[in-house]
């Protein structure tokens, strides 16, 4: 017997299907570009930096079928995306205030960065709602450790691995 409200179930499925399609089209586009024109300098860094989206691929599939690991992967992925965008915006603000940007780069954060931060925060807030968690098969109310402390360390570790890999890739080129 299904205890999930139909609208909630439909919303989760639409979101996970849209996420899956976005990831497939995104990497399909880069595969097409790479096959027809070859990968240029800096392409490896782009693929590494966007590799987090590959973590969201199984998250979207598992979430579509209301499996709890999909919710956990989605939360880790979006905490990582939010953390990286906030760090980027703060770094841009510091560099801009210090006068290390010149010309057009000194405009600070753009509307796109603010949109991404709001979008990532909205996804995290919506999927943190008890009804959405329970519909996804996640029950954490009786746990001694908050869900945040189960998600944030993995997202932070993923972010540190990303920095290490990007550092190595930047010296390889």
Could you report the per-residue pLDDT of 6-52, keeping only the tens digit for each? 899 999 999 999 999 999 998 888 778 777 777 666 666 666 667 78
Answer whether residue 28 is part of any domain: yes
Answer whether residue 38 is part of any domain: yes
Helix axis angle for 147-172 and 52-64, nearest 10°, is 140
pLDDT tens, 127-156? 999 999 989 888 776 666 666 677 778 888
Q: Are 96 and 106 in contact (CB under 8 A)?
A: yes
Cα→Cα distances 122→50, 92, 105, 118, 161, Å: 20, 23, 28, 6, 25
Answer whether residue 26 is part of any domain: yes
| pLDDT of res. 78 | 94
Domain span at 37: 6-172
| pLDDT of res. 54 | 82
Answer whether residue 117 is part of any domain: yes
Q: Are 129 and 153 in contact (CB under 8 A)?
A: no
Number of domains in the chain: 1
Answer whether residue 84 is part of any domain: yes
Q: Tokens 């890999």 identify what position?
A: 165
28-48 burial, b at 16+ Cβ within 10 Å, e below that, comes to eeeeeeeeeeeeeeeebeebe
| pLDDT of res. 111 | 79
Average pLDDT over residues 79-105: 80
Answer whether residue 1 is part of any domain: no
pLDDT tens, 150-163? 777 888 888 788 77
**In angstroms, rounded to a whole number, what is the distance separating the alpha carbons of residues 47 and 76?**
19
């Amino acid at each position: 017997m299904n205890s999930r409200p139909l609208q909630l179930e439909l919303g989760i499925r639409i979101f996970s299907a849209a996420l899956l399609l976005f990831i497939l089209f995104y990497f399909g586009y880069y595969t097409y570009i790479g096959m027809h024109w070859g990968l240029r300098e800096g392409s490896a860094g782009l693929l590494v930096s966007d590799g987090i989206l590959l973590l969201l691929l199984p998250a979207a599939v598992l979430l579509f079928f209301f499996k709890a690991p999909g919710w956990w992967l989605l939360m880790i992925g979006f905490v990582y995306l939010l953390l990286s965008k906030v760090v980027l915006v703060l770094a841009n603000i510091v560099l801009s205030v210090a006068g290390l940007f010149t010309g057009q780069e000194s405009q600070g954060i753009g509307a796109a960065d603010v949109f991404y931060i709001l979008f990532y925060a909205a996804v995290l807030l919506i999927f943190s709602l008890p009804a959405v968690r329970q519909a996804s098969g996640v029950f954490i109310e009786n746990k001694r450790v908050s869900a945040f402390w189960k998600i944030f360390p993995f997202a932070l570790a993923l972010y540190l691995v990303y920095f290490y890999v990007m550092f190595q890739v930047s010296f390889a080129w």
